[in-house]
Structure 1
């Protein structure tokens, strides 16, 4: 196997409320057996979703407000303050809103605001769900997700159109690996900064990647492009944390 050149962490992202704005973070303290800090802590169901807070389990993303179901959701901008558990929201044509997510009255305000923003697309009552330790992942194996930026660039070049890496909603962006080399890494050990992780599997992509993360319009059929160009629907990796540690942009990202 050809030795890999040194690669580094290019950026870190969390998604505090499933389906909403990715947020950059300056560092992440990964813990063994745990998900990426601040990621998919809450979700908004298009109810009823069947989620049971007393027995939380994985539920299909299509029961929540996500881009695969509601592309216009990308036009909603959110910013979470972890210290106060406050979420600031804005959307074209709507008043800005700030809510404390743990406050039941504020949760109702958020649900009403989003119902107005989505209009007819809100086909059932919306309800904010708190995982209280459960993470609302697309896949139960998806504790941490990693994106190889070279793979995204290769896809862009073959399509002849720029593909924004934000379409893939990954936690860790890596620069320096050859395109698509990661597809053969299932079961391998990976170092990200101080942390050690194990690759679970490549991420199978869905219609959420078809949505422009700025305009909220479906403009590129990424899933068909992956299948037609490469014979698979993968882009990125799911990993589990084996040994905790801090990760920052600029840290190493390498097989060990």
Structure 2
């Protein structure tokens, strides 16, 4: 093994998959009704349960991973052995977590008086866009790629991840400050569904809007097919928040591309900000 992999719970891959592949995680924290839950990718905290709570009107908030958590995790992994570590993190355009990882590594290096064998990658992605890169990193490690090769490959690939996202309930975008209350109210009355992408700064931007749920799903399929690089996409990834039937519809609609399609529920941290009914499709762009 040339390197070990560390990621965070915003990659939205199942815990058992990461455990099988010996990938370690650091967890975001979700607060619901004053109680804190660790987003551990389904090991103890289910996003499906959280979505039901949100549908009942309960409010949830998320917290970024703090410097202390990163510092403790880095030290723990280095005490196990000195095999280099690659940390692939949630987009710095959406959270301060990655900056905290950088600060923690700086503190560790200063404390040690030497450079720790830890390498950080800002994925500039969220949800299964990040998860796709984690899967690619796993493949590189399993193929015995060196650290520098893995870093170069992922840093190049992350700029080509395309994400097409829609939400079903605009109030979550309003709560996150991404749209105004007026826009959310009028949009809901008119059955407007936004089409959202992650830009090259790793931030969510509105790419357009359609009227009606079915049209929003069709738009995700249409845009994915128009821009996908078949030869460079090892698998298409679909994330869904509660609405598995809509996820299956997307899967069926994309099946004619002849690529493997992996579908997973959005994790609790992401679902807090999208609400029930959100869907996302990830692949590699031409």
Establish whether TM, by shorter chain, passes 0.5.
no
Structure possessing the higher relative contact order (Cα contacts under 8 Å, 6 or more residues apart)? 1
Higher normalized helix content (fraction of residues): 2
TM-score, length basis structure 2: 0.24
TM-score, length basis structure 1: 0.26
Higher normalized strand content (fraction of residues): 1
